[in-house]
Amino acid sequence: MRSRQLIRDMIVHYLGNPILNELDDGACLSFVEKDLVFTTDSFVVRPLFFPGGDIGKLAVCGTVNDLAMMGAKPRYLSLGLILEEGLLLADLERVVRSMRAALKAANVKIVTGDTKVVERGMGFGMFVNTAGIGVRFPNADTRVVNARAGDAVIVTGTLGDHGAAVIACREGINLESRLVSDVAPLWNLVGPLLRKNVDIHCLRDPTRGGLAAALNDIAESSLVGIRLVENKIPVRKEVRGICRVLGLDPLNMACEGRAVVVCPGKNAAAVVKMLRSRPLGRNAEVIGQVVKQPKNMVILETEIGGERIVETPMGEDLPRIC
Amino acid sequence: MRSRQLIRDMIVHYLGNPILNELDDGACLSFVEKDLVFTTDSFVVRPLFFPGGDIGKLAVCGTVNDLAMMGAKPRYLSLGLILEEGLLLADLERVVRSMRAALKAANVKIVTGDTKVVERGMGFGMFVNTAGIGVRFPNADTRVVNARAGDAVIVTGTLGDHGAAVIACREGINLESRLVSDVAPLWNLVGPLLRKNVDIHCLRDPTRGGLAAALNDIAESSLVGIRLVENKIPVRKEVRGICRVLGLDPLNMACEGRAVVVCPGKNAAAVVKMLRSRPLGRNAEVIGQVVKQPKNMVILETEIGGERIVETPMGEDLPRIC
């Protein structure tokens, strides 16, 4: 119980707000809006701390971004911690402080939580679950079923930074220049598009399985094809380097602060301009288009003029990158 | 990815519904009600299967009950699974089927979820997180701050069955008669009280730390005292036996299908009658009363005519009983 008290105090100390501080069995929330979005994600990343972030920032941004991709303004999060005995309190504090910063950046609150401590020796340190409630924008329908031939495919920034940074950190790969995870809350980037009623067909964050998984999901759900132009796809040279060393494909690498935006081709330039006006979107690019045929497929026009099929990664995921 | 596909298919197969089946980044929900309750709980019980339940049933009931204790009708759950490589698919299927039965009994749906698989060798099999959204009953204020001198303290059934059943199973203690966990969804028991506008001051489920923790929480939050009459407290003889063998106090043992109900003394008989009219409440009893003094304390009038202070369990919790 003493440890529970300590944790409670640490969490209330750093993450407290009038709703959370009630510390009751649940949080009482009032909404004037009728249409909500509800989502959840568990985070098992290893190591707990990596260049550009940690499991706490990831747990806040991951759930905030799932809400944002559904066209919902993130409002409230729950926090479920599973801590391993022996976890350093200093590490827990560092994670909780990082959460606090991410919550502030995303303008959301943790309003209810639960902490379990399990016996030492499993070697995971901590797992984090967040669930989230957001308020859906009127008329926002950004589901993966809405892509149509003629749409443009846009990414809001460089791809694979998160996956590459975590793997490099875990494998002890030294980089000349500093590569950091892209983990960031996306609502401030995509919210303005929805607020201004820009016609957006799909939003998806390319997390597990990277761009390849996200685009195949869109192609299959919308019964369309997608053609990509390789030399338009923004990938940092450090990410390319790590992928080359480890035999990985940058298109399969997870991002935690990037979105795929599908919109009518005629709006693409305006959308890219809006995205680039914010720091998080300054590397936004049109990387391809939605086509009628071949359906359910993603085709990459390579830099050397060939074509290849981009498949959903079928082997095991890169382990524990989120 | 193949394992993810399989899990997704298993979860959709057993737990599917039109909202979950969208398998998007989140679930779109519509509410006509303004006042919602949001809660979360993680479950790390070991063993995964125990007499009367398993981690799946527990994960559904635990969150449903947190909502019910807040005076909210449980509506939607999220499901976060962390699976250890090597977990038998048959065990996962058994857990998911058990969830399905509990969801049906509680009349709630899982509408969004996430599954992570982590490497083999940690030895936990699986952890489960559920978050839940419920609709708060108009005028229901069942928080622990509302107890007043003169109130009756009622429990809805025998205490400690869950904790004792899990510990006995884990320790290999053989029981002459079969003791099973009390894990059950409580909304069907307490909902009718709220629906009929019965004057209820507090609702609390005595989970971790048992009755002792729940009542101390009420006493401290409401700045009152609580006097209990030991021979009114329903405890099964098997639970007493296990506690005697292991040196545990039945008042500290977790329940997962019991509620503490605090209501004005004059209504106590009627409340007990209503509770007893349902199978889950057939052993309901008035076990004590709320008093002005001594504040912040729970006092037990023992069977042999003495008095003792019932403290919040201060050592470590019984490990991994929920």
- Tokens coding B296: 């912040």
Is the CB of A30 less than 8 angstroms away from the CB of B30? no
Pick the range with the lowest mean pLDDT from A173-187, B22-36, B53-67, B147-161: A173-187
Partner B contacted by A176 (CB < 8 A): no
Partner B contacted by A305 (CB < 8 A): no
Task: Give me the interface pTM, i.e. the ipTM.
Answer: 0.94
So what's the pLDDT on residue A278? 97
Please provide residue B38's backbone torsions phi and psi, each rounded to the nearest 5 degrees.
-125, 130
- Give contacts of B319 with chain A, Cβ < 8 Å: 118-119
- Distance in angstroms (rounded) separating the CA atoms of residues B256 and B254: 7
Is the CB of A39 less than 8 angstroms away from the CB of B1? no
**For residues B230-246, average pLDDT:** 95
Which B residues in the span 190-209 are in contact with A, Cβ-Cβ below 8 Å?
204-205, 209
- Distance in angstroms (rounded) separating the CA atoms of residues A104 and A184: 12
Residue A262 bridge partners (DSSP) = A153, A202
Instruction: Tell me the pLDDT of chain A averaged across its residues.
Output: 93
So what's the pLDDT on residue B1? 45
Contacts for A212 with CB less than 8 Å, ≥ 6 apart: A249, A251, A252, A298, A310, A311, A312, A313
CA B178 to chain centre: 21
- Give contacts of B312 with chain A, Cβ < 8 Å: 1
**For residues A247-274, average pLDDT:** 97
Listed residue (B107, B105, B180, B128) closest to B11, CA to CA: B128
- Distance in angstroms (rounded) separating the CA atoms of residues B183 and B195: 23
The residue that leads in pLDDT, A60 or B313, is A60
So what's the pLDDT on residue B155? 98
- Give contacts of B217 with chain A, Cβ < 8 Å: none
Phi-psi sector, B27: left (phi>0), alpha (psi -120 to 50), beta: beta
Chain A interface test: which of B15, B32, B40, B77 (most A C-beta within 10 Å): B40
Q: Which chain A residue shows the shortest CA-CA distance from B62?
A: A25
Stretch (H or E) spanning B307: strand B307-309
Identify the band that residue B2 occupies on the pLDDT scale cut at 50, 70 and 90.
Answer: low
Pick the range with the lowest mean pLDDT from A60-64, B170-174, B193-197, B273-277: B170-174
pLDDT digits (tens, 9 = 90+) for B110-139: 999 999 989 888 888 999 999 999 999 988
Which B residues in the span 109-128 are in contact with A, Cβ-Cβ below 8 Å?
111-114, 116, 118-119, 122-124, 127
What is the identity of the amino acid at A135?
V
Is the CB of B1 less than 8 angstroms away from the CB of A317? yes
Partner A contacted by B78 (CB < 8 A): yes
Partner A contacted by B305 (CB < 8 A): no
3-state helix, strand, coil in chain B (%, to 5): 35, 25, 40
- Give contacts of B315 with chain A, Cβ < 8 Å: 1
Does A264 sit behind a cis peptide bond, omega within 30 degrees of 0 on the bond before it? Answer: no
Please provide residue A14's backbone torsions phi and psi, each rounded to the nearest 5 degrees.
-95, -30
So what's the pLDDT on residue A1? 45
Of B42, B133, B134, the CB nearest to A116: B42
**For residues B141-164, average pLDDT:** 97
Highest mean pLDDT of the ranges A152-156, A318-322, B85-89: A152-156
Contacts for A7 with CB less than 8 Å, ≥ 6 apart: A81, A83, A92, A115, A117
So what's the pLDDT on residue B8? 75
- Give contacts of B83 with chain A, Cβ < 8 Å: none
Contacts for B175 with CB less than 8 Å, ≥ 6 apart: B168, B238, B241, B242
- Distance in angstroms (rounded) separating the CA atoms of residues B143 and A54: 35
Listed residue (B184, B234, B226) closest to B312, CA to CA: B226
- Distance in angstroms (rounded) separating the CA atoms of residues B65 and B45: 17
So what's the pLDDT on residue B173? 82
Identify the band that residue B163 occupies on the pLDDT scale cut at 50, 70 and 90.
Answer: very high
Contacts for B28 with CB less than 8 Å, ≥ 6 apart: A35, A36, A37, A70, A136, B19, B22
**For residues A168-187, average pLDDT:** 87
**For residues A232-252, average pLDDT:** 94
pLDDT digits (tens, 9 = 90+) for A201-224: 999 999 999 999 999 999 999 999
A298-301, strands of its sheet edge to edge: A202-204, A260-264, A151-155, A285-291, A225-229, A298-301, A307-309
**For residues B167-187, average pLDDT:** 87
Listed residue (A20, A13, A8) closest to B208, CA to CA: A8
Beta strands in chain A (DSSP E): 27-30, 35-43, 49-50, 53-54, 72-84, 109-118, 126-136, 151-155, 202-204, 225-229, 260-264, 285-291, 298-301, 307-309
pLDDT at A255 over 90: yes
Of B38, B79, B82, the CB nearest to A27: B38
Beta strands in B236-291 (DSSP E): 260-264, 285-291
So what's the pLDDT on residue B252? 95
Phi-psi sector, B103: left (phi>0), alpha (psi -120 to 50), beta: alpha
pLDDT at A296 over 70: yes
Identify the band that residue B177 occupies on the pLDDT scale cut at 50, 70 and 90.
Answer: low
Stretch (H or E) spanning B127: strand B126-136
- Distance in angstroms (rounded) separating the CA atoms of residues B143 and B315: 26
- Tokens coding A296: 């359910």
- Give contacts of B2 with chain A, Cβ < 8 Å: 314
Partner B contacted by A132 (CB < 8 A): yes
So what's the pLDDT on residue B71? 96
Percentage of chain B modeled with pLDDT above 70: 97
**For residues A8-34, average pLDDT:** 90
Partner A contacted by B37 (CB < 8 A): yes
Q: Which residue has the tokens 């990158």?
A: A321
pLDDT digits (tens, 9 = 90+) for B19-32: 998 888 899 999 99
Q: Give the count of alpha carbons within 13 A of B15, CB side only.
A: 32
**For residues A191-210, average pLDDT:** 95
pLDDT digits (tens, 9 = 90+) for B180-189: 999 999 999 9
Q: Which chain A residue shows the shortest CA-CA distance from B75?
A: A38
Partner B contacted by A38 (CB < 8 A): yes
The CB density around residue A87, as the number of other CB atoms within 10 Å, is 17
Partner A contacted by B21 (CB < 8 A): no
So what's the pLDDT on residue B317? 56
pLDDT digits (tens, 9 = 90+) for A100-156: 999 999 999 999 999 998 988 888 999 999 999 999 998 889 999 999 999 999 999
Partner A contacted by B219 (CB < 8 A): no
pLDDT at A33 over 50: yes
Instruction: Tell me the pLDDT of chain B averaged across its residues.
Output: 93
Partner A contacted by B217 (CB < 8 A): no
